Amino acid sequence: MKYCVVDRGDELSQQLAQQFHALAASYEMELDELKPEIVLSIGGDGTFLQAFHRFEPELGNSVAYVGIHTGRLGFFADWKPDEIELLAQLMSVAAKDNELRTVQYPLIEIEITTHQGVETHLAVNEFTLKGIEGTLVAQLNINDELFEMFRGDGICISTPSGSTAYNKSLGGAVIHPSIETLQIAEIASLNNRIYRTLGSSMVLPKHHHCDIYPQSNKHLLLSLDHLNMQRNDVISIRCRVADQKIRFSRFRPFPFWNRVREAFIGFDVK
């Protein structure tokens, strides 16, 4: 089995990375930083997002991800630091049996149209659009029909996996990642007798799409997961559920709702 490790860079994560390399060598796994079959993320969710955006452009969903949690809140990480030996052993067994079990979760595809053409990006958690110099004013279409004129701080488009991230803090719903949807959440929208928006999040199925038309020549902040870019040349942005999915290695069960409970409520529910 070919593997690669991406770590957060802190002392604990680096120590775990070195420990895993030693374990992997003892199990005759091959380190391959260009075309791995499994990417091991050691850190928090930020480390995992860096790993995805590093390997996705070249490898797509031919690579699977697994995480060891050393951060404050590792929603994508199934394993704790003291379980690294067990993880290496199970990876070795999966390699020998040629039976790597994975689950696949939806991504969102973002098409940004400018005068120079169209560029396409993928996001695991969310895409956000915000105004830099003031209120974001944008027309929001759903399935090529005008839905509303948005005025406010910004718009957040999230995947089911990302529904527990920024979307949740905006009052959006938590959605199981087996459901192929995207969610649109407003960021501090203006609502009064002159300006009106829906005022709640919306969930679109896979065969629907939304288009955002911001005011022309405005300075905007676009965020794809942890990646930020400032633009003033955006004509429109189309968001939809991507055809491609992200693959996670599953060496043991870890139900989604258990993950949500542990992250936000605590293990001992009273």
Rounded CA Rg of the chain: 20
Alpha-carbon gap, residue 147 to 211, rounded angstroms:
10
Find, among 129, 139, 128, 219, the residue nearest to 166 by Cα: 128
Q: Is 144 a residue of the active site?
A: no
Helix (H, G, I), strand (E, B) or coil at 187: strand
Decide if 151 contacts 137 (C-beta within 8 A).
yes
Could you give the 3-state DSSP secondary structure of residue 10?
coil
- Which of 28, 26, 24 has the alpha carbon at shortest distance from 42? 24
Which residues on neighbouring strands pair with residue 31, listed in sequence order? 3
State the residue for tokens 């003033």.
Answer: 232
Pairing of strands 234-249, 102-114: antiparallel
Name the catalytic one among 10, 32, 45, 82: 45
Give the CA distances from residue 270 to residues 73, 231, 241, 261, 265, in Å, rounded to whole numbers and listed in that order.
21, 48, 37, 12, 10
How far apart (Å, rounded) are the C-alpha atoms in residues 68 and 105?
A: 19
CA 236, 240, 245, 250 torsion-angle sign:
positive
Between CA 62 and CA 104 the distance in angstroms is 11
Active site residues: 45
